[in-house]
Amino acid sequence: MNKSPLQLARYQYQPKLPGMLRNGISEICVKNGNPTESVADQEKIKALFPNTYGKNEITFQKGQNTSAAKKQVVGVILSGGQAPGGHNVICGLYDALKATDKENVLYGFKGGPSGLLENDYLIFDDEYINAYRNTGGFDIIGSGRTKLETEEQFAIVAENCKNHGITALVIIGGDDSNTNAAVLAEYFAANNTGVQVIGCPKTIDGDLKNEDIECSFGFDTATKTYAEIVGNIERDANSAKKYWHFVKVMGRSASHVALETALQTQPNICLIGEEVAAKKMSLAQITDYIADSVAARAAKGWNFGVALIPEGIVEFVPEFSVLIAEINELLAGSKADDFNALPSWEEKYAFIQNGLTEASMAVFAILPQGIQQQLFLERDPHGNVQVSLIESEKLFSAMVKENLAARKAAGTYTGKFSPLHHFLGYEGRCAFPSNFDADYCYSLGYNAFMLIQYGFNGYLSKVSNLSKPAEQWIAGGMPITKMMNMERRHGHDKPVIRKALVELEGKPFTFFADNREKWAEETCYIYPGAIQYFGPTEVCDTTTRTLALEKA
């Protein structure tokens, strides 16, 4: 298999570990912290997790290793969407396991949780691991989105673990995957299987975050990748001086990716879904806001600009959420067949008009026809609108175009508006990890094995103090139940890890809010360029603007 010069060079990179993990396995001991409780719904969560709830937070420090010596056979899976650095979590886990005892074994279950159920696995060795060090992607064992949530599934996993002599499982995933890890850990404890479960926090969306998890892995690399592309687009816009670029970026349930990319590049417009929801902004208000920037820049002779749109923006618009709910109800059951049988869009439009409330029809009517049709053609397996497929970048550019035409007719706008569209998604999920993500992920994996060695179950591998050099990072663990609350899912109350949204009182957003008025009218673009892997620390090892502002 051919390798690029960068790939060959990255194989040689030695990730940096937190200071206390550099002492050597025999000189790492546990410091117990305070007992924990869930973020909300304490009595309900405690009742559901009697064996794993309320445990202490812990940190590792220099001291004599007091863990019981035994052979460890560990299984690992990658779960959910890809995020840069996943390979290094596995490499760190493998290196710590082998440094402790060469006889220890690491199983990689293929294709995510389904590999655990189907007993589809490989056993890692040095040669195989070395081909994936410091590389992007999840192709080392693949990933999947199968949920582990039923007693039958847990029993199958327990049996497969027993047959291989597995003593612990490491689940690398986002909020849903780590919720599943907590439930599986509770089952293993309740049934005395002797198998531990450790989670690792992954998602480029940045919404697996709280006072303990300062940053989910992959967020740094993905946002730097998007910022490079947005910076390139900004430079092109400032060169050609004739296009408005509408750029949609990943992050359906939260706007962390859009905000971080904006902090790195300073575009003219960046919508933040959480602010849209808090202010109950309508589509018309959002359109006016963007059009005001276009008009102000046109008045200075600048008929160009860049607008960032979070992937899930429409779900934050109250009137649009109501519209989606009504459409889902309108096409429930056999009514979808009746609708699809209508031969023309005109007849379908009349069907829609008869089925929606007056308020929702008013919202529907202002949408471009392409978006209207998209709402009815793209359905998920449950018959619901697939909101993530809505081309919101095209929606807003079309609405801005109409808005500007009205202004031109009224004599308040004389510029030219030529929109171009981009969607930055998969471009960032498997990029070569930045030095930060390479170090952070390796540390998470190495740390996960320390949690296993000391017998912890239902814990999340935790590395904090991330805004400082890696030497000062703090390694430890926390019970996954600490992050959980009860939420309504598919008609049932379920324990889940609470998603972290952009905090409108937080330093990253307030910095953005304090500067965006200037960015909207002036050309204040920053061009971050490509991720740097070699060179001065201040160029290669910096983390996100979000983390820098939060920890300033």
Buried residues in 180-196 as b, exposed as e (16+ CB within 10 A): bbbbbbbbbbeeebebb
Angle at 537 between CA 535 and CA 540, to 5 degrees: 65
Q: What is the pLDDT of residues 92-122, one digit of tens each?
A: 999 999 999 999 999 999 999 999 999 999 9
Closest CA to 131 of 103, 171, 90, 97: 90
Amino acid 461 reads S
How far apart CA 241 and CA 523 sit, in angstroms, is 11
**Would residue 205 show up in a list of annotated catalytic residues for this protein?**
yes
Given this model, what pLDDT does residue 379 score? 67
The values of phi and psi at residue 478, to 5°, are -145, 145
Domain ranges across the chain: 72-218+433-489, 221-311+395-429+493-552, 313-390
Inter-residue contact 489 to 527 (CB < 8 Å): no
**Catalytic entry in 205, 207, 220, 437:** 205
What's the predicted TM-score (pTM) here?
0.95
Do the two domains 221-311+395-429+493-552 and 313-390 of this chain adopt the same fold? no
Distance CA 206, CA 260 (A): 10
Q: Which fold has domain 313-390?
A: Arc Repressor Mutant, subunit A (1.10.10)
The number of residues making up the chain comes to 552
At residue 383, the pLDDT reads 64
At 269, list the tokens: 């417009």
- pLDDT digit string, tens, across residues 373-412: 888 876 666 566 777 778 999 999 999 999 999 999 999 9
The torsion angle over the Cα atoms of residues 325, 329, 331 and 335, rounded to 10 degrees, is -170
* Model pLDDT for residues 73-100, shown as the tens digit of each residue: 999 999 999 999 999 999 999 999 999 9
Closest CA to 179 of 468, 546, 482, 476: 482
**Phi, psi values for residue 322, rounded to 5°:** -65, -45
Task: Report whether 306 contacts 268 (CB < 8 A).
Answer: yes
CATH topology of domain 72-218+433-489: Rossmann fold (3.40.50)
**Integer Cα distance of 69 and 113 in angstroms:** 29
Those residues whose C-beta lies under 8 Å from the C-beta of residue 413, and which sit 6 or more positions away, are 295, 298, 404, 407
Query: What pLDDT was estimated at residue 1?
Result: 64
Regarding the domain delimited by 221-311+395-429+493-552, which CATH topology (the fold level of the hierarchy) does it fall under?
Rossmann fold (3.40.50)
Cα three-residue angle 37-40-41, rounded to 5 degrees: 95
pLDDT along the chain (552 residues), means of 10: 88 94 89 95 96 97 91 97 97 97 97 97 98 97 93 96 98 94 97 97 92 94 98 98 97 93 98 97 96 98 98 92 89 84 93 94 90 79 70 94 96 96 95 98 98 97 96 96 88 88 97 98 98 94 94 88
